[in-house]
Amino acid sequence: IMNNRHLGLVRQHQRLFLNERYSGTRFKSDPDFASIARGFGIRATRMDQPNHEMILDFMESDGPCLIDARISCEDLVLPIVPAGSANVEPIEDIA
């Protein structure tokens, strides 16, 4: 999970295309996704800082696993297609 504790793509659209008029994108709670996954018998952890060794270890393990990777709400997902645009018209870089 790339967890920015917001509705990330909605917030990103509000930032890029709606003059940062944020509304209804911040979560009031902060679910512990790793604990929930462990409750279902899934190997899971929370990662607050990049940890390539941990990622490789999880990728090499058998069965399902979950990493709750905490990222900044300011991080952007690219490419992104603006509202009203066709999927063949993505924005691939934000200057």
Q: Degrees (nearest 5) of the Cα angle 38, 44, 58?
A: 140
Does pTM top 0.85 for this prediction? no
Encode 11-20: b = buried (16+ Cβ within 10 Å), e = exposed: bbbbbeeeee
Total length of the chain = 95
pLDDT one-digit tens code per residue, 26-76 = 988 999 999 999 999 999 999 999 999 999 999 999 999 999 999 999 999
pLDDT on residue 95: 72
Average of per-residue pLDDT across 1-23: 93
Q: Where are the beta strands (DSSP E) in 1-95?
A: 2-3, 43-47, 65-70
φ and ψ at residue 66, rounded to 5 degrees: -140, 135
